[in-house]
Amino acid sequence: MHDSRRRSTQYSGPETRSLTARLALYAAVLVGAAIMLFPFLWTVITSITPEGSLADGPTLIVDNPTLGAYRTLVDALPIWRIVLNSLGVAVASTAFQLVTGSMAAYGFARLHFPLKNVVFGFYLATLMVPLQVLVVPLFIEMKTLNLQDTYFALLAPTIASAFGVFLLRQAVSAVPLELDEAATIDGAGHLRIFTTIVLPLIRPALATVAVFAFMGSWNSFLWPLVVIRSPEFMTLPLGLSTLQGQFTTQWDVVMAGSVVSIVPIAIVYLLAQRHIIAGVAHTGIK
Amino acid sequence: MSRPARWRNLGWVLFFLLPSAIPLFVFTLVPMVSSLWVSLHRWNLISPMEWVGLSNYSNLLTDPMTRRVFLHTLIYVVGYLPIVYAGGLALALALNQRLKGRAFLRATYFLPVVTSWVVVALVWKWLLNPTNGLVNQVLGAIGLPEPGWWTDPHWALPAVILSSAWKDLGFVMVILLAGLQSIPGDLYEAAKVDGSNAWQRFWRVTLPLLSPSTFFVVVISLINGFQVFDQVYVMTAGGPAGSSQVVVGQIYDLTFRYGRAGEASALSWILFALILVITVVQIRGQRRWVHYA
């Protein structure tokens, strides 16, 4: 990992930077930022433009802004429930992966048992297999158990993630064994060592796993598309894609749906921005 | 260690491992094995399975449709990767400078990364709408030709590539920025003392020392790129006329539209094998170009 002290001596570009070069750099990064932000702005503008004015495309300043598209949206889909579904499933799947992942990580890093490497090999095998290989049998499994159109079906494939186990095992292995030994002398068992010593020390890795679990669930589309039919159990990506099928040419309604899907994650992002970016950066190093 | 001692921990082992082992077994390992089994049958998900041995695989490998969906997926990957890498690197280099508002810019570039693929695909489908989309209005205003984007067989894949690159630019930037920040500053000082110019330092110091991050970006992008689905499904549904159908889209359609689950499973294993081979080749080949400081 890099440490912040290094930043002061870090490379800061050509040292003979003229004012024009600096201005050009600023212009470039600002144009880039505009390209990143503008589609979001355009989405909002489209969603409040009256349907009749969309034929020639919306304008930056909306003449008669209206919430009509949002009203149509609310009538077409149980959109608030869908927002809550998305949030609830993402939170639950994150919580599950943190608990199951950190426990397994402790098991693999700290306990000795026969065939440990073989068991770990099985975990790694599940890490490599992509969802599309599993989709058909998983769908059949859910159908046979009569679990189509349930929250359980949405959650099931994300209760445990081998990626999380793998990442957390690295973190647990980095915790000095002496800490465990000292605690053992004080009479602590595995459960207490796990909860009071290991867990607090692997917080950065837990944050990374949480970020990936949450984003993974929030963005998940293929699995909900396969296993959910009724709108009450849809998550946002699926709800939006059915909305598109229903209102093919009514872009104001589709964009209203997009705005509703962006707002919750944008709030989460604003609150946890530093952790999210750090979490992603963390996976790239090492 | 004596035998009883080795097994003494068993209770704890079960306690710590079962919460993850059971779901991974039931929802990943079992479907994995049954997917192999299904791939050896003809099956429409309803009537009983019919054993066909390896003929799903041999049929797929000779089917021109398979070649087409793999070609489209390859075009996607080959178009997408250079754009996100070059763009992400440019942004990372820019934000590695002492700029005012750096944190704000970084957060802005990263915003599309947290937005779901479905939203990104819909927003870009609207921006790239051939008749009243913003992009064509701008192109028309400055006198450039207005492509049909997702309604035109030649432009459907470029439309998908463009929107995907827009979404992932910030992800690549963050990974590369972390890589840049882990390059020790004294290496640049040493290079300067040796009389190198900025351009030489970029090629001789920055790029080689950034190679672990580059490697990570390339491996992840190829793994994800070959599994592209969401944005294609939403933007073009594989159309027009199958011109943007990708492998995972074909797996989905084979299963749920044509009732050919056996072939779909076989295709998913062919794709998995391909991804595995590409990844292993990269890991083997990394010694040639990846330098760990």
- Answer whether CATH 1.10.3720.10 is correct for domain A72-284: yes
- The C-alpha of B198 sits at a distance from chain A's nearest C-alpha, in angstroms, of 6
- The C-alpha of A90 sits at a distance from chain B's nearest C-alpha, in angstroms, of 13
In this predicted structure, what is the pLDDT of residue A282?
Answer: 75
Confidence of residue A3 (pLDDT cuts 50, 70, 90): very low
Class of domain B53-289: mainly alpha
pLDDT at A234 over 60: yes
Q: pLDDT tens across A54-96, in order?
A: 877 778 888 888 898 999 999 999 999 999 999 999 999 999 9
Q: Using alpha carbons only, what angle is made at residue A167 by residues A165 and A169, rounded to the nearest 5 degrees? A: 65
The reply to whether residue A36 touches residue B108, judged by beta carbons under 8 angstroms, is yes
In chain B, residues with a C-beta closer than 8 Å to the C-beta of A112 are: 1, 6, 9
pLDDT, mean of residues A216-235 = 94
3-state secondary structure (DSSP) of residue B51: strand
Q: Quote the CA–CA distance of B289 and B212 in Å, as a whole number.
A: 9
The reply to whether residue A265 touches residue B17, judged by beta carbons under 8 angstroms, is no
When CB atoms are compared, the residue of B1, B178, B272 closest to A284 is B178
When CB atoms are compared, the residue of B9, B91, B134 closest to A32 is B91
- The C-alpha of B260 sits at a distance from chain A's nearest C-alpha, in angstroms, of 11
- Which residues contact residue B150 at a Cβ distance below 8 angstroms, ignoring those fewer than 6 apart? B125, B128, B130, B156, B159, B160, B235, B236, B240, B244
In chain A, residues with a C-beta closer than 8 Å to the C-beta of B123 are: 39-40, 42-43, 255, 258
In this predicted structure, what is the pLDDT of residue B98?
Answer: 82
Q: Quote the CA–CA distance of B270 and B59 in Å, as a whole number.
A: 12
In chain B, residues with a C-beta closer than 8 Å to the C-beta of A104 are: 16-17, 19-21
The reply to whether residue A29 touches residue B256, judged by beta carbons under 8 angstroms, is no
- Tens of pLDDT along chain B (293 residues)? 455 566 678 899 999 999 999 999 999 999 999 999 999 999 998 889 999 999 999 999 999 999 999 999 999 999 999 999 999 999 999 999 888 888 889 999 999 999 999 999 999 999 999 988 899 999 999 999 999 999 999 999 999 999 999 999 999 999 999 999 888 888 888 888 888 888 888 998 899 999 999 999 999 999 999 999 999 999 999 989 999 999 999 999 999 999 999 999 999 999 999 999 998 899 888 888 888 76
In this predicted structure, what is the pLDDT of residue B286?
Answer: 85
> Which residue from A minimizes the CA distance to B35?
A137
Q: Using the 8-state DSSP alphabet, how is residue B49 labeled?
A: P
- The C-alpha of A173 sits at a distance from chain B's nearest C-alpha, in angstroms, of 15
- The C-alpha of A100 sits at a distance from chain B's nearest C-alpha, in angstroms, of 5
- Which residues contact residue B50 at a Cβ distance below 8 angstroms, ignoring those fewer than 6 apart? B41, B42, B43
- The C-alpha of B1 sits at a distance from chain A's nearest C-alpha, in angstroms, of 11
Q: Quote the CA–CA distance of A285 and B7 in Å, as a whole number.
A: 37
In this predicted structure, what is the pLDDT of residue B1?
Answer: 46
Q: Quote the CA–CA distance of B124 and B135 in Å, as a whole number.
A: 9
Question: Can you tell me the ipTM of this complex?
Answer: 0.88
The reply to whether residue B97 touches residue A6, judged by beta carbons under 8 angstroms, is no
pLDDT at A12 over 80: no
pLDDT at A1 over 70: no
> Which residue from A minimizes the CA distance to B100?
A26
The domain spans of chain B are 53-289
The reply to whether residue A285 touches residue B179, judged by beta carbons under 8 angstroms, is yes
The reply to whether residue B134 touches residue A42, judged by beta carbons under 8 angstroms, is yes
When CB atoms are compared, the residue of A26, A107, A222 closest to B17 is A107
